Amino acid sequence: MTGPSAPVPGRPAVWVNCAASVDGRLAFAGGRRARLSSPEDLVRLQRLRANADAILVGVGTVVLDDPSLRVHWDLLNEPEGKNPIRVIVDSSGKTPAKARVLDGSAPTIVGTSQANRRRYPDHVERIVAGSDSVDLAELFRALVDRGVRRLLVEGGASILSSVLRGGLFDRFTIYYAPVVIGGLSAPPVARGPDVEAMEQALRLDLVEVERVGEGYVATYVPRSRPPPARP
């Protein structure tokens, strides 16, 4: 599975991807990591990563999961290739000093705010986008200037909500694992302000449903927008 290849004016082509329980939870209580993807979905994720110029996550995901955000080429049965740029949204400098995303094994950018005076390792590029919090639209424009045409957004809940509600995406895929998590503190797919009427809700068009291992992947695009062409 490959992603949209053509950027739109002012930002890259953005593919949002996540795995969730059937009741729409990304993790267990308190954000504790839940391995929801099936082995087959993990392969799908690695293919998405391999076809992206950059992968973006929020600092909450870095703190809780300490991901490498690298392509696991062994899962694709392919030789080691080029890893995409890792982009961390960190408004206030919460990225742990020993986080794997700062290890220098792949190009890394931290998108941050003017209020953050934190120093990052010399090999990490710092992009200031916004005064007190990161302005994602501004950050996306800066990524285009750095040659990012295809951006994969992986989460967590706050980032997913901001990108989706802000209309800053072209395709949204979600792997539904056949489990129910429930509870009050397990993070949902999207956070943000309460929606009180359908007119305030983000409307999507379902364009594809695919069985993947024991779960399934649903693919959506923004309402009334044709799906991006597959390269």
Please give the pLDDT value at position 231: 46
| Proportion of the chain above pLDDT 70, given as a percent | 94
- The 10s digit of each residue's pLDDT in 21-33 is 999 999 999 999 9
**Band of pLDDT at residue 116, cut at 50, 70 and 90:** very high
In DSSP terms, 11 is beta-bridged to: 8
- The 10s digit of each residue's pLDDT in 215-229 is 999 999 998 765 555
| Confidence check: pLDDT of 149 > 90 | yes
* Cα(69)–Cα(86) distance, integer angstroms: 7
Helix (H, G, I), strand (E, B) or coil at 189: coil
Asked whether the whole model's pTM tops 0.85, one would answer yes
| Confidence check: pLDDT of 129 > 80 | yes
Please give the pLDDT value at position 1: 42
φ, ψ of residue 145 to 5 degrees: the values are -60, -20
| Confidence check: pLDDT of 10 > 60 | yes
* Cα(155)–Cα(56) distance, integer angstroms: 7
Residue type, 49: R
Domains of the chain: 13-222 (3.40.430.10)
Please give the pLDDT value at position 183: 94
- The 10s digit of each residue's pLDDT in 46-58 is 999 999 999 999 9
Residues in the chain: 231
- The 10s digit of each residue's pLDDT in 80-110 is 999 999 999 999 999 999 999 999 999 999 9
Please give the pLDDT value at position 177: 98
Q: What average pLDDT is seen over the chain?
A: 93
